[in-house]
Amino acid sequence: MSTQLKPGQGPLEYARRPWIIALFALVLLFLYAPIASLIVFSFNVDKSGVWHGFTFMNYIKAWHNEAIFYALTNSLTIAVLSTVVSTVLGATTALALWRFKFPFRDAYEGFMALPIVVPEICMGISLAMFFSYTGMMAGVRDWVWPFNLINIMFAHIAFCFPFVAVVVRARLQGFNRQLEEASKDLGATELQTFINVLVPFMVPSLVAGGLLAFTLSLDDFVITLFSSGPGSITFPVKIYGMVKRGVDMQINAASTVLIVITLAATLLAMKLQAPDKAGH
């Protein structure tokens, strides 16, 4: 074999094939151009699709637009509270499935995975019916904020915590149970062992699972649309209403804020997890 291989022609150098590089670039353009355009036009002076000059006016207007501000606050509050509960429920469920043999274990496990696969719209309408039949839809309407959002939180927790459970369980698979035995041999109680041995081991998965729950909750539109009564509006539901009435640069401004919040949270959590990866 005397022919010299050119760079990118090596048999396994797929990452350097020109056509793959071109495809990669095109896909990135396809993925990011719409979002970039949305952010750029949030600074446009008018609401046409044509660039007419730079302004912060849309942000100021969106900030003073009570409905948008209220919806965004609702979304963030729901996301934070649902994340806390989902993380606890997800962790306990994962621990139960990881540690114990019990009757109907497979059925329990299967039901826990159902919200992950059932179409959102089906879960949304079943909850809508449930809330209106039980009177919860009308019942919580006049409760003091944030309790008037409690139906949405119940719904969000129901579809978020199974995801947390999956993440935590994957981490628990790598736990050496002899550590637990050692702790108990040294005189620690069940609870002490749990808090000092098992929980520190679970932390990275609790952060990752919690972050996933936060994003899922903030992101959810379909289930929220059905389980929210009149008056308790979240950010995606508000945007949906505005999009139906046409393009408005205030949507772009508020969306940009939400994109920044979500991406910051994602990158932060990835950074938090990074030292752990290096340690193992």
Partner 1 sequence: MDNWKDFRRVFLTLATPGGLWMLTFFVIPMTFLFVLSFSSKAVVDGEISTTAYDYLNTFQNYSLSIGHDYLVLLWRAIWTSAIATLMCLILAYPLAMAVCFAPPRWRPVLLLLLILPFWINLLIRTYAMYSIFRTTGVVNQAFGLIGMGPYEMLNNTTAVIMGLIYVYLPFMVLPLYSTIEKLDRSYLEASLDLGASQVRTFVSVTWPLTLPGVITGIILVFIPCLGTFLTSDILGGPNNWNIGNAIQNQFLEANNWPFGAALSFILMYATFIALIIRTLFARRSKGVDA
Q: Which CB atom, from 148 or from 211, has the smaller least distance to partner 1?
A: 211
Q: Please tell me the distance from the alpha carbon of residue 217 to that of residue 224, in angstroms, as a whole number.
A: 9
- Does 195 help bind partner 1 (rule: CB under 8 A)? no
Single residue of 5, 27, 84, 195 touching partner 1 by CB under 8 A: 27
Binding partner 1 (rule: CB under 8 A), the pick from 5, 182, 263, 268 is 263
Describe the crossing of helices 150-172 and 120-133 by its angle, rounded to 10 degrees. 130
Does 125 interact with partner 1 (rule: CB under 8 A)?
A: yes
Helix (H, G, I), strand (E, B) or coil at 136: helix
In the three-class reduction of DSSP (H, G, I as helix; E, B as strand; rest coil), residue 11 is classed as coil
Name which position in 67, 243, 268, 276 contacts partner 1 (CB under 8 A).
Answer: 243
11 part of the interface to partner 1, by CB under 8 A:
yes
Among 33, 138, 195, 268, binds partner 1 (CB under 8 A): 33
For partner 1, which stretch binds (CB under 8 A), given 65-73, 140-148, 181-189, 259-267?
A: 259-267
Query: How far apart (Å, rounded) are the C-alpha atoms in residues 273 and 280?
Result: 12
CA distance 173 to 266: 24
By CB under 8 A, residue 182 contacts partner 1: no
Q: State how far Cα 169 lies from the chain centre.
A: 18
Rule CB under 8 A: say whether 53 interacts with partner 1: no
Q: Which range, of 20-28, 54-62, 66-74, 137-145, touches partner 1 by CB under 8 A?
A: 20-28
Contact call for residue 41 and partner 1 (CB under 8 A): yes
Helix, strand, or coil here: 44?
strand
Nearest to 152 by CA among 95, 71, 92: 71
Query: Is residue 32 involved in binding partner 1 (CB under 8 A)?
Result: yes
Residue 6, classed as helix, strand or coil, is coil
Smallest gap from residue 206 Cβ to partner 1 (A): 15
- CB-nearer residue toward partner 1: 116 or 203: 116
| CA 28 vs CA 21, 275, 280: distances in Å | 11, 29, 32
Spatial distance between the Cα atoms of 41 and 55, rounded to a whole number of angstroms:
10
State in angstroms the smallest separation of the CB of 115 from partner 1.
6
> How far apart, in whole angstroms, are the C-alpha atoms of residue 270 and residue 13?
29
Size of the site for partner 1 (CB under 8 A): 82
Tokens of 185: 């041999």
Q: Rule CB under 8 A: is residue 135 a binding residue for partner 1?
A: no
Q: Choose between 64 and 105: whose C-beta lies nearer to partner 1.
A: 105
Residues 148/141, Cβ–Cβ less than 8 Å? yes
CA nearest neighbour of 80 among 220, 214, 211, 208: 214
Q: Which stretch binds partner 1 (CB under 8 A): 59-67, 142-150, 195-203, 238-246?
A: 238-246
Q: Which stretch binds partner 1 (CB under 8 A): 60-68, 166-174, 198-206, 254-262?
A: 254-262
Question: Which residues have C-beta within 8 Å of that of residue 221, sequence separation ≥ 6?
Answer: 236, 237, 240
- Paired tokens of 166: 């999956």
Is 43 one of the binding residues for partner 1 (CB under 8 A)? no
Residues 85-124 that bind partner 1 (CB under 8 A): 88-90, 92-93, 95-96, 99-102, 108, 111-112, 114-115, 117-123
